[in-house]
Amino acid sequence: MLFLALAVACSVTIGVIFKYTGRRDLDRTALLTVNYAAAVGVAVVLLALEGRSVQSGLALSGGLVALGIGTGALLIAGFFVLSWATDVAGMSLAIGVMRVSVVIPFLASWLVWGEVPTVAQGMGMGLAAVAFALLAHKRAPEPVAARAPSAPQGAAAVLPRPPAIDWYTAGVLALTFCLGGAVDVSMKAFEEGFGAANSQVLFLLLAFGVAFLIGAAVVVRQGVRQGEWPAGQTVAWGVLLGIANYGSLEFLLRAIEALPGPFVFPANNIAIMALAALIGVTVWEERLSRPNQVGLGLASVALVLLGL
């Protein structure tokens, strides 16, 4: 249980860092680039210090390299959009949507690899779709009293509420949902096509390295063209983000070794959503509408069903 708690803490820390750095308007691309460099560094150091034996290496092929590059691109794009969604919709909803995106690899497993979901998993996918719609719901402002153009002088009319759904916010959350699920699908593709002869740990390091190179290319291009290079504050927060990023994966893998997977995955996702919502409401004063609250509840139920 300790490893599971640490995995949850690391994942929530990622959301907190995104929220904090978003308010300080730090260079997001530089932040994510340093994050992946730090994550790779931590992984390499730990592998060396602990003398871990990797079951197999990487039998590099055109397909595996292409998948590694694609996964790396999805990783940095997904993190970028998650950070963006945290700014736009708040930490509670951004992380909630990212967790619910687990439904995408379930659909891919069914439609691509022929793994027919159970009845419970089918219900979970349906609930996840409803949960996403509710999480994308944005609280509408209170009606504003204003004088109608056709009303007599001094008379006031109540203007109608704007639409309850902010389509810009919904679009950002939808992109977060799709990219989060796409990363999981890429890992599923690795397991199905290359997992038997290759190390998952080394594949993740390859993907992290690609994500770093993509970010570094953007940062260098920006620095050369505009003369703007990452500030020390951005680098420091990027290192902290990378440690939390690596820790979330490392501790989750250790939790799976000690506890049953069907318990670990739903518990991990639900705990992350609940803690992120609590911090968002109490620390950042994020306001959740009633549909948002119902959506988080349905998302929790969906994650339990998907784990059955």
**Residues 99-154: pLDDT tens digits?**
999 899 989 999 999 989 899 999 999 999 999 989 987 654 444 444 445 545 55
Confidence at 52, pLDDT banded by 50, 70, 90: low
Q: Pick 6 or 227 by higher pLDDT.
A: 6
Q: Would you state the structure tokens that stand for residue 123, as one six-digit string?
A: 């219900």
Cβ atoms of residues 308 and 262 within 8 Å:
yes
Cβ atoms of residues 72 and 209 within 8 Å:
yes
Q: Where are the alpha helices (DSSP H) in 101-231?
A: 103-111, 119-135, 167-193, 200-226
pLDDT value, residue 127: 94
Mean pLDDT, rounded, for 88-92: 92
Q: Would you state the structure tokens that stand for residue 17, as one six-digit string?
A: 């860092």
Domain boundaries, the chain: 2-51+60-139+173-306
222-231: long-range pairs with CB below 8 Å, 24+: 222/29, 228/27, 230/27, 230/30, 230/31, 230/33, 230/34, 231/26, 231/27
Mean pLDDT is highest, among 26-35, 166-175, 200-209, for: 26-35
pLDDT value, residue 54: 54
Confidence at 70, pLDDT banded by 50, 70, 90: very high
pLDDT in tens, 216-252: 999 999 899 988 888 999 999 999 999 999 999 889 8
pLDDT value, residue 174: 95
Mean pLDDT, rounded, for 7-31: 93
Indicate if the pLDDT at residue 274 is higher than 90: yes
pLDDT value, residue 47: 75
pLDDT value, residue 195: 79
Contacts of 107 (CB under 8 A, 6+ apart): 125
Model-wide pTM > 0.75: yes
Question: CA 240, CA 77: separation in Å to the nearest integer?
Answer: 19
pLDDT value, residue 145: 46
Q: Would you state the structure tokens that stand for residue 209, as one six-digit string?
A: 């390295």
CA angle 3–240–189, rounded 5-degree value: 60
